[in-house]
Chains A and B, each alone.
Chain A
Amino acid sequence: MTYMKKRLWKIIIGGIVFAVAIVNPINITWLKVTLFLISYIIVGSDVVIRAVKNIIRGNVFDENFLMSIATIGAFLIGEFPEGVAVMVFYQVGELFQSYAVAQSRKSIADLMDIRPDYANVKKGEELVRMDPDEVQVGDIIVIKAGERIPLDSKVIEGNSTIDTSALTGESIPREIEVGSDLLSGCININGVITAEVMKEFGESTVSKILDLVENASSKKSKSEQFITKFARYYTPIVVIIAAILAIIPPLVIPGAIFSDWIHRALTFLVVSCPCALVISIPLSFFGGIGGASRKGILVKGSNYMEALAQAEIIVFDKTGTLTKGVFNVQEIHPEGISKEELLEVTAYAESFSNHPISISLKRAFGKDIDNQRITKVEEIAGHGVSAAVDGRKVLAGNSKLMEKMNIAYYKGELIGTVVHVAIENQYVGYIVIADEVKEDSAQAIRDLKAANIKQIIMLTGDSRNVGVKVADELGLDQVYAELLPADKVKIMEELFSQKSKKGKLAYVGDGINDAPVLALADIGIAMGGLGSDAAIEAADIVIMTDEPSKIAMAMKIAKKTLKIASQNTVFAIGIKVIVLILSALGYASMWAAVFADVGVTVLAVINSFRALHVENI
């Protein structure tokens, strides 16, 4: 028999004996009392035993102790039925509570059930089932249809489609082929894939995500901190008031009866456990964080959840956040040299950088880069690059670079990112590169405005023309363009002074080269976290996909979570205070007190369940 069932049977049998004691027609006092005692022992003995054990261990004021005192006290003042009834109700409530907690633990575990159980490792010709923990980098694994990808790896054989929804909340499957990166936690839908392991299990995406979500609750929100503090003082205060209530009024008020006031004091004790609060508030946050992770939104702590619900200013980085970050060469405009030569020289000069612009140049150039032709590469942050290509000094970068080097350049209006190029300080033309706005960026901005965000601002290192064009297209409130990394920090500091005291400032970036700004913001949000460790490390909230619309969704989840948490706080404290007052005045029975204790806990736990459900948000 399980522990739960055993408890249930005890309550049922005890309850029957209790019922017999009440309806029993033979009115002999000792018989009634004996029946009440028997039912009390069946139902409540474990509580009393635990209370005694805990006192021996020096642990007073726990629930068991309080319940024992209250019920035994009721017996001593002759309220036998009430003493037993309170114990029965308490046990029923506790059982419900255990059940509710077990259920919510289970649904949280289900939510995080993205952990792969095994990996099929190729050993010679054989396939060996291994614990993903034991597989090493470089091992070859086989993932069959329907199996979960156990470790981050690279496909070396086979085509398939994979379901990334567990990580991203994205329902459209992704096509993969030889050379594709596989992320652990995704599910292989059809083909058989052979892949080489790129990361150990502990370093793999699935471990990182699980770790993050499980540990998120260590960063506590203000409401959780409040509850913890409240709980610490609540019980002792209630117990002290109960003691005063039992002793003082009968001595002071003429005609007051001791047993009546002791009864009131005992009722007080029943309400003195803060469990409803202590369970339901963290559970609400945990549910919200769990639900968000299902949507591909990782929140690193309840405090960030809270902050997000209070966001007032949202600052977006442009490239890779609101725009696709996929640049294409649109125009090549040489002066004095051929188009091919201009592209070649620029691609070479930029070849050491991983900036999206250099990548697009290399792609447009289309040939392999011979590293030996390049020397003395120097990146000039916010300006561009200086490099020696075939021994000639090449400068490639924005207009600021040209100004800085005193080189005359084309100053006409150009929409897009312009790379000006000079060879041996002689201007040789420019290349225009443009980026596209993401499909859901406009929707994202509309949703955020609907969610009462006061200011939506974009920062970009890009030219003013490009910045203004994107900002107009999306309906942003403000845009700061042509920024150096240090400028972004300065603007953030300025924006901080504009927000209200309670409002929070969020920064959304790609997490790759804006770590300082992410850290500075109240809430740093990184986009496109899937597969990018840097983004996961640097940010407080990670959006696994590339969709900025997820930010509005995250805000909705945060607001809902906070609402549930405050409902629970108000409800639990409210009911307890009301019952405390009523019982002090003699209007509340112990039955009401038991409801205020366990009933409220169960209701609050059920309410916090709602935070888990984010399907229709």
Chain B
Amino acid sequence: MKKSFRLEGLGCANCAAKMEKAINELDGVKEATVNFMTTKMVIEAEDEKMTEIIAASEKIIKKIEPDVTIKKA
């Protein structure tokens, strides 16, 4: 399953790279990309783990850049 999100307020490119790396290391994630320029995040993951993964990703994002709000795209 693939889900995409908008990360509003994404301000630092290095942070986007850090988020991408951390989310990719989550269990069950096939591929995750955080695009700094389009502020779009796409997560491809196993269906059953998707909810957990999204919650975990949200934590990661908030930890790296607290001002970002995550919206469904």
Chain A interfacial positions (CB closer than 8 Å to B)? 53, 57-59, 62-63, 98, 101, 104-105, 108, 214-215, 217-218, 228, 231-232, 273-275, 278-279, 282-283, 286
How many angstroms from the CA of A278 to the CA of B12 in the assembled complex? Answer: 9
Contact A217 B17 (CB under 8 A): no
**Further 19 A-B residue pairs, CB within 8 A, beyond A58-B63, A59-B63, A278-B36:** A53-B66, A57-B63, A63-B12, A98-B11, A105-B39, A108-B37, A108-B38, A214-B35, A214-B40, A215-B42, A217-B38, A218-B31, A218-B35, A228-B21, A275-B12, A279-B13, A279-B36, A286-B35, A286-B38
User: Which residues of B lie under 8 Å from residue A228 when comparing CB positions?
Assistant: 17, 21
A282 contacts B37, C-beta separation under 8 Å: yes
State in angstroms the CA–CA spacing of A215 and B3 once bound together. 12
Does A214 lie within 8 Å of B11, measured CB to CB?
no
Residues on B close to A: CB < 8 A?
11-17, 21, 31, 33, 35-40, 42, 63-64, 66
B16 CB to nearest chain A CB (Å): 8
Provide the bound-state CA to CA distance between A57 and B14, in Å.
Answer: 17
Known interface pairs A53-B66, A59-B63, A104-B37; A278-B42 also in contact (CB < 8 Å): no
Assess the A278–B13 pair: CB atoms within 8 A.
yes
Cα(A231)–Cα(B33), bound, Å = 17
Q: Are A282 and B38 in contact (CB under 8 A)?
A: no
- Chain A residues, CB < 8 A from B40: 214
Q: Is the CB of A217 within 8 A of B63?
A: no
Q: Which of A105, A108, A231 contacts B14 (CB 8 A)?
A: A231
- Give every chain A residue within 8 A of B15 (Cβ-Cβ): 62
Residues of B within 8 A of A279 (CB): 13, 36
> 5 A-B residue contacts at CB 8 Å?
A57-B66, A104-B37, A215-B42, A232-B21, A274-B14
Tell me the complex Cα distance, A279–B17, Å: 10
Residue of A57, A63, A273, A278 with most chain B CB atoms under a 10 A cut-off: A278
A546 to B18, CA, bound (A): 41
Given A59-B64, A215-B42, the answer on whether A275 and B35 have CB atoms closer than 8 Å is: no
Inter-subunit contact B36/A282 (CB<8 Å) = yes
Determine the residue in chain A with the shortest Cβ distance to B12: A275
Chain B residues with Cβ under 8 A from A105's Cβ? Answer: 37-39
Interface of B is mostly: mixed
Docked pose: A217 CA to B31 CA in angstroms: 13
Residue pair A286, B37 in contact (C-beta under 8 Å): yes
| Distance A537 CA – B15 CA, assembled complex (angstroms) | 32
Q: A318–B38 Cα gap in the complex (Å)? A: 38
CA distance A57 to B13 in the complex (A): 19
In the docked arrangement, what's the CA distance between A279 and B39, Å? Answer: 12
Question: Are A217 and B14 within 8 A (Cβ)?
Answer: no
CA distance A143 to B37 in the complex (A): 33
**Also in contact, A282 and B63, with CB within 8 A (given A105-B37, A214-B38):** no
Distance from A243 Cβ to chain B, minimum over Cβ atoms (Å)? 21
- Taking the nearest CB of chain A, how far is it from the CB of B58, in angstroms? 14
Least Cβ distance of B26 to chain A in Å? 17
B37 touches A217 (CB 8 A): yes
Which single residue of chain A is at the shortest CB-CB distance from B14? A278
The closest CB in chain B to the CB of A112 belongs to B38
Q: Is the CB of B37 within 8 A of A218?
A: no
**Inter-chain contacts of B17 with A (CB < 8 A):** 228, 231, 278
A58-B63, A59-B63, A105-B39 known; A218-B33 Cβ under 8 A:
yes
The residue of chain B having its C-beta at the shortest distance from the C-beta of A217 within the complex is B35
Closest to A57 in B: B63
Select from chain A the residue with minimum beta-carbon distance to B67.
Answer: A50
A274 to B11, CA, bound (A): 14
* Interchain CA distance A286-B13 in the complex, whole Å: 14
8 closest residue pairs by CB, A with B: A279-B13, A218-B33, A278-B13, A278-B14, A286-B37, A217-B35, A57-B63, A275-B14
Asked if B38 and A273 make an inter-chain contact with CB atoms under 8 angstroms apart, the answer reads no
Beta-carbon contact of A275 and B37 below 8 Å: no
In the docked arrangement, what's the CA distance between A283 and B13, Å?
A: 10
Chain A residues, CB < 8 A from B38: 105, 108, 214, 217, 286
Query: Which A residue sits closest to B15, measured CB to CB?
Result: A62
Q: Quote the shortest CB–CB distance from B15 to chain A (angstroms).
A: 8
Which B residue's beta carbon lies closest to that of A108?
B37
Contacts known (A98-B11, A275-B14); A283 close to B37, Cβ less than 8 A: yes
> A273 CA to B18 CA in the complex, in Å?
13
User: Closest CB-CB distance, A236 to chain B, in whole Å?
Assistant: 13
Query: Taking CB as reference atom, which chain A residue is nearest B64?
Result: A59
